[in-house]
Amino acid sequence: MNNMVDKSGRLRLPKYWPILYVVYRLRRVYNSFDLQKYLYLAKVDGNAPIEYVFVDDYCGPRCASIKQDAISLGVRGYLKVSFENGWVFEITEEGARVAKELMNSLPVEVQNAFDHILEEYSSLPVVKLRDYVYDAHQYPGVKPRPRAETEYEELKKQIKSEINLLLHDFSGIESNANTLFLLGSLDYCKLVLKREKLVDSFQKDNLITLIDGYVKKVMLLRELLGNNPELVGEVCLNDLKEDFELIQEASEEYKVLPALYEEGIDLSVFVDVEE
CB 231 within 8 A of CB 238: no
Residue 242 identity: E
pLDDT at 275 over 60: no
The residue that leads in pLDDT, 221 or 62, is 221
Alpha-carbon span 29 to 172, nearest angstrom: 38
Asked whether residue 136 carries a pLDDT value surpassing 70, the answer given is no
pLDDT for position 266: 55
What is the average pLDDT across 55-70?
Answer: 83
Q: Decide which of 134 and 123 is more confident.
A: 123
Question: How far, in Å, CA of 219 to CA of 166, rounded?
Answer: 7
Q: CATH 1.10.10 residue ranges in the chain?
A: 2-138
Q: Say whether pLDDT at 231 is over 80.
A: yes
Architecture of domain 2-138: Orthogonal Bundle (1.10)
SS3 state of residue 9 = coil
For the chain, the average pLDDT equals 84
**If DSSP codes are grouped into helix, strand and coil, which group holds residue 11?**
strand
DSSP bridge pairs for 30 = 88
Across the strands, what pairs with 91? Answer: 79
Q: What single letter denotes the amino acid at residue 186?
A: L
- Which run of H or of E encompasses 117? helix 108-121
The residue count for the chain? 275
